[in-house]
Structure 1
Amino acid sequence: MADAGYLTIGKVVSKLQGQYPDLSVSKVRYLEDEGLLTPSRTPGGYRLYSARDIQRLETILYLQKSRFLPLSVIKDELDGKKGTTDSMPEDGCEAAPDPVDPTLSVSPEAERELHPIDRIPEVAGVPISLVRKLADCSIIKLVKSPAGRDLVRGSDLRLIRACNELTRFGIEPKNLRQYLAAANREIPMFEQALASLSRHQGETPDERRLRREVALDRMLTLTGVVRCSIMRRELIDD
């Protein structure tokens, strides 16, 4: 079967890691355990992935990273149990803007790096002064280089772009401190929920971490729906 274009799990990971650096053998196995992938097996039990399997895996990874969809929704979409991923009200307020606005997106490479603050206008299209204000309000945390330069985490770039756009509506960094306080109040709730997840027998540390990440993503999606629905009801619907 391998001569007919099938790849082993290791070769699949190597093939896709350039686009999805966090991909690992453990993650692919986890997706199989969750019923999203069904590769063929050799008589000895080794997994073999066809071109269709690899395309399905790429779709799963794309929807996770670009659309922030939970695995349960992705599975239903791929299995044809629901409509398109662009029209699912349960994962966001019906009339709310798309949370994956392309103007806020960041390349995987930029997201993994530390960026000198003086390059932020070039990297993110945001003035340095705004980044300084966000740091002063503790919305982001700057990192000091060994030479004493202020560095910005790539993982904060999407947040910085969102805050920059909010200034167009008159919402300044100082107004966003309430979200930091709200997040600090919610963290214990999520910590308790994650701690309650039972450990699966034979589960590796990487598999457990991945399962916790998936659970957290789903909880953040659901609590976002709750917050969005309440805000819309109070500000628009009534």
Structure 2
Amino acid sequence: MSAAARNAAPNPASALRRKSEAKATKAKTMSIGVVLESLHAQFPEVTVSKIRFLESEGLISPQRTVSGYRRFTQEDVDRLRYILTTQRDNYTPLKVIREQLEALDSGQVTAIVSAGKTEPLVTPEQFKAPTITRLTDTDVANQAGCSEQDVAELYKIGLISPDSSGFFNTDDVAVASAAIALRAFGFDTRQLKSLRNNARRQADLISQVASPVANSKADTARQQAEELSQQMTALVVSLHATLVKTDLRNEYNS
């Protein structure tokens, strides 16, 4: 390849580099609402608070108008895509992403886009709080395909529970549906309670790590703790699923 061709070839890291002189240019900028709209197709769970949180963590540095409004360049949007993709597909902690971005910014490495990467079975986005809903026990029974008596029993053994107003949510429907399906395979109440207790122990382990972050004095402490919990939950569930699969394979192949 000639020198001219090499110079003309696109640099995969150029969209992520945040050199100070680049900010001095009169690049076209966009509002945070426009940025959010451009990201939603690929990352439907991203929110304004998420973008602000990433800024507070020093991962992105949008420009500010005299009035204090954020203005984003296309480089900022590309950088956000890199961060969100790395979090979603690789469960990478923000500390590691920051180190990767610093290496990209300094030109030590270039961005690598994996072709044909298999989507992960479990992602942190799956562990966000459920959409606010107000479902009665009848609603849960209808949506889960079970009886109200089934719902009452699942509540009794602690698999689902209403909020302080007495209403259930979509997560309760998912739990009820899975529990009824397991019953069809022969799972009894004792075994379902065992699954619930295992989940509680895993949640406690995650909480031990996330709670100190949530209790810190940082303005973004709660957001940071939620992000951390979602990433750890995805990893714990993925690890648990793989270990169960491995144990069963070893049992049947022994």
Specify the TM-score bucket, using the shorter chain as the normaliser.
0.5 to 0.7
Query: Does structure 1 residue 48 correspond to structure 2 residue 63?
Result: no
- Indicate conservation of the 8 Å contact 1:111/1:154, yes or no: yes
Deviations 1:71-105 (A, max 9, x none): 659x79xx5444555355xxxxxxxxx458xxxx9
Deviations 1:22-62 (A, max 9, x none): 8344x2122245576564x2575753235786698689879
2:91 maps to amino acid: P
Using a 3 Å threshold, how does the CA distance of structure 1 residues 83 and 179 change in structure 2: closer, same or farther? farther
Give the alignment's TM-score, normalised by structure 2.
0.57
Query: Following the alignment from structure 2 to structure 1, what is the Cα–Cα distance between the partners of residues 138 and 244?
Result: 37
Query: Does structure 1 residue 31 correspond to structure 2 residue 54?
Result: yes
Equivalent residue runs for 1:32-181 within 5 Å: 32-33=55-56, 39=62, 41-42=63-64, 44=66, 46-49=69-72, 70=91, 72=93, 80-84=112-116, 86-87=118-119, 98-99=121-122, 111-122=131-142, 124-129=143-148, 130-143=150-163, 145=165, 151-181=167-197
Q: Which runs of 5+ in 1 are unaligned?
A: 89-97
Deviations 1:186-219 (A, max 9, x none): 444333222444988x831xx2111111211222
Give the alignment's TM-score, normalised by structure 1.
0.60
Shift of 1:177: 0.5
Q: Secondary structure at the match of 2:71?
A: strand
Using a 3 Å threshold, how does the CA distance of structure 1 residues 84 and 195 change in structure 2: closer, same or farther? farther
Shift of 1:220: 1.8
Shift of 1:138: 0.8
Shift of 1:171: 2.6
Deviations 1:101-158 (A, max 9, x none): xxxx9xx9x8311112222344x2421343222112111113475xxxx632233233
Q: Secondary structure at the match of 2:131?
A: helix
2:47 maps to amino acid: L
- Indicate conservation of the 8 Å contact 1:163/1:173, yes or no: no
Q: Secondary structure at the match of 1:151?
A: coil
Q: Tell me the residue number matched to 1:218.
A: 231
Q: Tell me the residue number matched to 2:218.
A: 203
1:228 equivalent among 224, 234, 241? 241
Structure holding more strand per residue: 1
2:140 maps to amino acid: I
Q: Which has the larger radius of gyration?
A: 2
CA RMSD of aligned residues (A): 4.6
Query: Following the alignment from structure 1 to structure 2, what is the Cα–Cα distance between the partners of residues 142 and 163?
Result: 17
1:152 maps to amino acid: F
